[in-house]
Structure 1
């Protein structure tokens, strides 16, 4: 009898243990479902050089994943130095393109020009000390700087000069990239990347297709699980051309495709990026928006809210570009998706944090 009672107690304890496992499994599944439903899942779309990769890197920094380990840091250092080399090669190409109108302050700088041209043909470049010296000599030449500034403001050159201003830092053997260095670094690796981060206790899961065509065939498989699509635009590209097409017009065409093919249940978050560069171009007055979009000459914003201290010319320009995109989302009619526009500067961490906080209430 005692043996029977012992077996009975063992059976009850085993059954109790199984019930506890079932309850814990149900609790975990319920918590997983709660977290899943509370997470905003975003797909990051937009054209090349729109700032998508910078926004993704900002998201990784928000997640505390700027660089993982020494190997990733060494890769970042190499990529940044390669960006520096590409930038100085762009400078040399610009000088040669505008020659003889672009004079050099120091004739001996021709030696540095020839060195960079020679280095550009080398596939496995080792970044010797003389490379940095020649690059700095070129970048410090007033004639070269003036040439590049005119070319950039006229839309003939897409190079911010960020790494060229940091040559003496980047050349150091123990150089460690800063957050801003990582944000400005351009690396194109095809694939779909993702990261998770939080802003104001709201969880986000960001998907980033890099080097892929962002037509519906590419992102359709994500739609059922998405909260919103983030479409990034280079607002300063109104005077740049891509394969014979104005880059801003190309972005408008792509945006139309996204708005007219995504489900009405989705929200499109329009990130009008590079506001700092747009303001710089507008205030410089070298390249006028109306020369590329004639309708701007008669445009008056209806609901503009300027930033504190913002020049009225900048306000008018950025709202004109915003309204160009919003008119497309409205033209898609009831079949189109909701659209919310935001002015962004991807290299400004506080700006992006604020924008993501606003987006949390929209999706």
Structure 2
């Protein structure tokens, strides 16, 4: 063998040996917990990830906030347009007829980055119109309407200002539909947790299967309690809560994840409470078997609906009532999730 060829082979062999050693070390290294976030579309899964980033990640960078600035304004504009369209298609009259011109301006406006003063004024006048407020009360009839957009409509002057930088509270309320699988790692008490967020729309659910495996520490299933009076964007005949309950059953009864902890987040408690206590959207209209009761009892009633789905009566389901946009609430719940994952791991090893 020529000297140059011999030297090249030695270098190649050395690289191969190093790669094998690294692969072996990686295989031998203790693996941190793996968790999958599942749930129907618009249940609040991505908000949970945002809270993890705030509480256990590096938070949001300046570049992140600039990107969210556009999303905030897009959410705000979309909400105004949806309410105008709903008003017009359902025979609701504007309180002030001149707002028809403002509605037309908002519908025709193309957002690049900034909201000009004229559009801000139009949105403000529309949002204060009694007709639009009537449409907002029936927002559950709009599959794509996001209630948190009302937060931005109520803060339009701040969100539209030229020097606006989104706060953490703003970012938590931005609609962020998951259309791909994301993998995010967080260090919690010196242990690396890997979270997979998989889209919940029907067209994306076939992507869930590869994540159901023996080494999965836990599944966090997120369901929006406030969705009891809403219907799927993909199928206007299917109630969102009914879909979530059925979907939860298919997850918790999956034979591939019998060793994984099942954690149920009954999310959007704040919106749910508002609907129940206002009486504007009675549960019995959508669930005839329901008997009217107070907010807490209604939450417990839906919790039982989910728990009834499990076939293995000995399987434990860890349930938490959550408000994804409330950082203090989520901090306590994430701490509880950590304890559940650790306890489940010790049980699997026969140490408990």
Instruction: Give the structure-2-normalised TM-score.
Output: 0.80
Does 2:64 correspond to 1:76?
Answer: no
Alignment of 1:87-166 (within 5 A): 87-99=79-91, 102-119=92-109, 122=110, 127-145=115-133, 147-152=134-139, 158-160=146-148, 161-166=150-155
Which residue is 1:228 aligned to?
A: 218
* 1:39-65 CA distance string (max 9 Å, x none): 432100011110111111111112343
Which residue is 1:356 aligned to?
A: 334
Shift of 1:191: 2.2
C-alpha RMSD of matched pairs (Å)? 2.9
Shift of 1:96: 1.2
Shift of 1:187: 2.7
* 1:108-164 CA distance string (max 9 Å, x none): 212111112222xx475763321111111111223322x134213677854330111
Which residue is 2:306 aligned to?
A: 325
Partner residue of 1:345 out of 323, 327, 330: 323
Which residue is 2:176 aligned to?
A: 187
- Matches of 1:73 and 1:125, distance apart in 2: 13
* 1:75-94 CA distance string (max 9 Å, x none): 21111111111111112112
- Matches of 2:96 and 2:207, distance apart in 1: 54
Distance 1:200 1:355, change over 3 A: farther
* Structure 2 unpaired stretches of 5+: 1-20, 342-352
- Matches of 1:332 and 1:115, distance apart in 2: 57
Equivalent pairs, count: 314
User: Bigger shift: 227-236 or 185-194?
Assistant: 185-194
- Matches of 1:63 and 1:186, distance apart in 2: 21
Which residue is 1:6 aligned to?
A: none
Does 2:271 correspond to 1:277?
Answer: yes
Instruction: Give the structure-1-normalised TM-score.
Output: 0.77
Distance 1:150 1:131, change over 3 A: same
Structure (1 or 2) with the larger CA radius of gyration: 1
Distance 1:238 1:211, change over 3 A: closer
Partner residue of 1:266 out of 260, 265, 288: 260
The structure 1 segments of at least 4 consecutive aligned residues displaced by more than 6 Å after TM superposition are: 153-156
- Matches of 2:103 and 2:204, distance apart in 1: 39
- Matches of 1:87 and 1:118, distance apart in 2: 14
Does 2:208 correspond to 1:208?
Answer: no
Are the aligned partners of 2:79 and 2:146 in contact in 1 as well (CA < 8 Å)?
A: no
- Matches of 2:65 and 2:217, distance apart in 1: 33
